[in-house]
Amino acid sequence: MMNIVCLGLNHRVAPVSVREKLWFSEDDVRAILLRLKASGVEESVLISTCNRTELYYVPPASGMDERAVWHVLTSYKNAGDGECSDALYAVHSLHAVQHLFKLASGIDSMVLGDVQILNQIKSSYAIAQACRSTGQVLNKMFSAALHTGKRARTETEIGDGAVSVGYAAAELASKIFHDLSRKTALLIGAGETGELTAQHLRSHGLGQLLVANRTRERAEQLSARMNGRVVEFSELVSALPEVDIIISSVSAPDYVLNRAAMDGVMKRRGPSPLFVIDIGVPRNVDPAVGSVANIFLHDVDSLQLIIDKNVERRKAELPHVRDIVFEELLQFDHWHASLELTPTIQQLRDQFEQIRQSELERFSHHITADLQDDVSILTKRIINKILHTPMVTLKGELGKSHEVKKDIQLVRAIFGLDP
C-alpha cells in the first residue's frame, strides 16, 4: 500500500485569520522538519504560503497518529487545536500524490494557473532536502511533481495571459513598447495596486520609475523600495513629457489628469505613444484623454475585460493539464508498485532457498559425497525454473500497477510472506 499522507489547510477551507496562524517562515519550516524527524517521521516536506500550509509525509512504522503529527505544527505556533484543526484536511495514498501534482500544475491554486506555486514547491522541497527529511518516496514524488508542473506550463497555456490588474497592465505595456528597458513610468499614488503594477513593469524590464504622491515621505519610501526617483506631486504634469507610461492610483474627488493638460503634454512629447493606466476608483484620468492622439488609456474595467478573457483561456486548458497530471500519476504509481515487487521477489527466493537448504541437510546422509555438488546444482535449477514464470509475469504486470499490487498481495499471501 502507498504510505503517503498530506495534512493541511488552504484558502478553500480556512479564512486568512486561520491561515495566518499556521504560516511558517523558512526558519520555522526547518525547525518543524527537525521536530518531526525527532518524533519518528523520517520523510516530510512542509509547504507554507499565504494561501496554504500542507505537510506531506511518510508515516513512521510506529503508526504515529495524524493528529499527533498535526499537533507538532500547531504547538510550534501556539495555535491550539481549535480552528486550525477544525479546518484540517487529510489526503492519503495516491490521492495525496494527485493533490500535489494538481497544485504543481497550477489547477489547485487560488489563481488558476498560478506561476508562483511551482517555485514555492521547489523551494520547500529544497529546504527539506537540506534538512535531510526526504527519502526514496518523497524524493521521487516531489521530482515528479516539479516535472508535472513544468509539463503543464510548456505543453499547455494554463499559465498564459494576465489574471491580475497589475500584470494585465504590464503585459499591455510590453505589447505597446517592445523594449521597456528604454522606457520611463510614472507612478501617481503609493497604493498597493499601483505598487504591484510598478513591480510587474519592473519584472518586464522597465528602465526607469518615477513616483509622485501627495505625501512626499510615502513617495520616498516607495521609491526606495522600487529603486525609483521622487517627483513632486505639484509638478507631475511638467514631468509627463519625459514619461512613456503613467500608472495612477490615488483617492481624489476630481480628475488628476484632464484633457487640456494632456493635449499640452502630447504637443511637447511629439508622436511617441503614451500609455496611461488608470487604476483609481473613482477614476483619476478624464475618459476624454483616451481620444487624444497616441494616448492609450485603460481603466480598471477595460483591464478586467482582458483578465476575464485570459481566465477563460486558462479554463479551456484544464482538460489538457488534467491529462498530464493523470499520465504522471500513472507513472508514479507504476514506480511505487515496483518498490513492492523487488522485496517480494527477494523474499520468495530466500524462502525457497531456505527450504532447499533444509531438505538437503535432511537427506545429506543418503547422498554420497561425490554427488552432493550435483544434487545442489540440480535443486537450484529446479527452484529457478519454478520461480521463473511467476517472476516474469509479475514484472510484466508493472505497466498495469493496479493489477500488479493485487498480484503481489496474492503471492505474499499464498507463500506466507510477511505483510
Q: In angstroms, what CA-CA distances link 30 with 50, 65, 72, 128?
A: 18, 22, 13, 7
Residues identified as active-site: 50
Q: Of the candidates 216, 195, 198, 218, which has an alpha carbon nearest to the alpha carbon of residue 208? A: 198
CA distance 72 to 84: 12
Exposed / middle / buried, residue 43 (Cβ in 10 Å: 0-12, 13-18, 19+): buried
For 114, residues 6+ apart whose C-beta sits below 8 A from its C-beta are: 106, 159
Q: Of the candidates 164, 213, 166, which has an alpha carbon nearest to the alpha carbon of residue 190? A: 213
Match 554420497 to its residue by C-alpha cell.
Answer: 368
Determine phi and psi for 309, rounding to 5 degrees: -65, -40
Of all helices (H) and strands (E), which one includes residue 45? strand 43-48
Radius of gyration from C-alpha coordinates of the chain:
32
Grid coordinates belonging to 389: 514464470
* Residue 248, amino acid: S
Q: In angstroms, what CA-CA distances link 222 with 214, 250, 344?
A: 13, 14, 63
What is the number of residues in the chain? 419
